[in-house]
């Protein structure tokens, strides 16, 4: 469906959106140190460390990313994606930095962290729109959760986020309830 690069970029978008308190937890990016850790964990290259502390710029990109989840409507998502890729020059090139397999980068050399995220995430989301897969951009189905997810499963079966392990959480709760009501199956399914 999507290329491996695109999937990784989409998962980075999901992880970034889910750092916000809007996702149902607490804000996870409150210091430059947190941002640096996020960038390290997601294997970004060419980031100016001075950008780690620019939280307002990062939050703005993150809010725009969030706006495309759970929307379903391609025209609205397309408008948001066009705004993402318009923040900075798009400059596609192949790279194998730090021993990673060859993959595309779309941000221009010298881009700020916010521009880098917006352009690379925007190009990945553009693939989702142009392949007609916007219904894969979802908000977690757990009642107390607002985390986002991208359903990369073949049969479009993903409903719960990984950020808060909601699928597991609800499964355990349902199992306990069955046990309490005396109708637990012999083997947990």
Tell me whether residue 29 or residue 142 sits nearer to Zn ion (CB atom).
142
Candidates 57-65, 84-92, 113-121, 147-155; binding stretch for Zn ion (CB under 5 A):
147-155
Instruction: Provide the mask over 47-66, with x wherever binding to Zn ion is found by CB under 5 A and - wherever it is not.
Output: --------------------
Helix (H), strand (E), coil (C) string for the chain: CCCHHHHHHHHHHHHHHCCCHHHCCCCCCCCHHHHHHHHHHCCCCCCCHHHHHCHHHHHHHHHHHHCCCCCCCHHHHHHHHHHHHCCCCEEEEEECHHHCCCEEEEECCCCCHHHHHHHHHHHHHHHHHHCCCHHHEEECCCCCCCCEEECCCCCCCCCCCCCCCHHHHHHHHHHHHHHHCCCCCCCCC
Tell me whether residue 74 or residue 152 sits nearer to Zn ion (CB atom).
152
C-beta of 40: minimal distance to Zn ion in Å? 13
Tell me whether residue 34 or residue 169 sits nearer to Zn ion (CB atom).
169
- 147 in contact with Zn ion (CB under 5 A): yes
Tell me whether residue 64 or residue 116 sits nearer to Zn ion (CB atom).
116
Tell me whether residue 74 or residue 103 sits nearer to Zn ion (CB atom).
103
- 111 in contact with Zn ion (CB under 5 A): no
* Interface with Zn ion (CB under 5 A), residue from 137, 140, 148, 150: 140
- 146 in contact with Zn ion (CB under 5 A): no
C-beta of 105: minimal distance to Zn ion in Å? 5
CA distances from 131 to 8, 119, 144, 178 (A): 17, 18, 31, 41
Rounded to the nearest 10°, the torsion over CA 105, 127, 89, 80 is: -140
Residues in 153-172 at the binding interface with Zn ion, rule: CB under 5 A: 161, 164, 166
* Interface with Zn ion (CB under 5 A), residue from 142, 150, 155, 182: 142
**Residues at the site binding Zn ion, with contacts judged by CB under 5 A:** 140, 142, 145, 147, 161, 164, 166
């Amino acid at each position: 469906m999507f290329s491996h690069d695109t999937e990784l970029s989409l998962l980075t978008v999901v992880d970034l959106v889910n750092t916000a308190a809007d996702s149902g937890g607490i804000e996870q990016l409150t210091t430059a140190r947190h941002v640096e850790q996020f960038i390290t964990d997601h294997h970004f290259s060419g980031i100016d460390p001075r950008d780690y502390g620019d939280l307002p710029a990062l939050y703005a990109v993150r809010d725009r990313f969030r706006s495309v989840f759970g929307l379903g409507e391609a025209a609205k998502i397309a408008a948001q994606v066009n705004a993402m890729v318009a923040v900075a020059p798009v400059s596609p090139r192949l790279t194998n930095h730090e021993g990673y397999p060859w993959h595309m980068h779309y941000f221009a050399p010298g881009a700020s962290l916010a521009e880098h995220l917006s352009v690379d995430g925007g190009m990945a989301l553009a693939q989702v729109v142009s392949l007609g897969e916007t219904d894969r951009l979802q908000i977690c189905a757990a009642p107390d959760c607002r985390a986002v997810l991208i359903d990369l499963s073949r049969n479009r079966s993903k409903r719960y986020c990984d950020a808060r392990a909601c699928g597991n959480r609800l499964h355990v709760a349902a199992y306990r309830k069955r046990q309490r009501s005396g109708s637990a199956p012999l083997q947990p399914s």
